[in-house]
Amino acid sequence: MNRRDLLKSTIATGATLALPATIAAQPRAGTARERVLFDLAKRELDRAGDVIWRRDIVGIADFGVHSANRRFHFVNLDREEVQSYHVSHGTGSDPEHDGWLNDYSNVEGSNATSRGAYVTWEWYVGRYGTSVRLGGLDSTNDNALERYIVMHRAKYAEPSHIDRWGRLGRSNGCFALGEEQFRIALLNLSGGRLLYADSLGLQDDGRMLTRAEQLEMLQPDKPNAVQQYMPGVF
């Protein structure tokens, strides 16, 4: 069973394995999606261990949903709050530029997004102004430093870009955010916190759906056999 399937079968139904029984038995406020995010944040913190030295807020980028959605979740475990923002993925992960991430890569020069856990490091001033360095913690993203995969601001990641084009623009594999959203990220997600990226396809009701399943939900009801062969009658 791969990791994504494991998440579907455990987190979406409660994800209680990593929690003490006394805690898991207590009801938690919030939406079904938020409860999944809380559990996922705790599981990834446990997996990362001591390399994460600030454990109050976890960033979870869900590249399993379209870039027009608020899919970058800031999970505040101390306050039990979730704030969600827009985030761009890489050009190499979306060559059709349709807003859907197709593939991940950890290869330098791929301009693709990498999945896995990151630790956020210090701020620095680079090509995109103030940015946040990231250290990849998994074999799927351990070239992040060499690839200059960072968090930064970008005009193509502004919500207004969605209003015009129906999707965000693409990065070179970095986590690009709009101006105001990046300011929030600087204050809440830098300096030794965990950032986790994967294709979850997480919905408001807590389900994790594939791209095909999400597109199916957007389609109008299909006619049944009688309606199909007797158009205009119904």
134, 114 contact by CB (below 8 A): no
- For 114-173, the pLDDT digits (tens) are 999 999 999 999 888 999 999 999 999 999 999 999 999 999 999 999 999 999 999 999
Alpha carbons within 13 angstroms on the beta-carbon side of residue 105 total 17
For the chain, the straight-line distance linking the first and the last C-alpha, in angstroms and rounded, comes to: 46
What is residue 156's three-state secondary structure? helix
**Cα separation, 69 vs 82, whole angstroms:** 15
- For 77-123, the pLDDT digits (tens) are 999 999 999 999 999 999 999 999 999 999 999 999 999 999 999 99
pTM for the whole structure:
0.83
**Cα separation, 208 vs 160, whole angstroms:** 27
**Cα separation, 170 vs 167, whole angstroms:** 9
- For 45-67, the pLDDT digits (tens) are 999 999 999 999 999 999 999 99
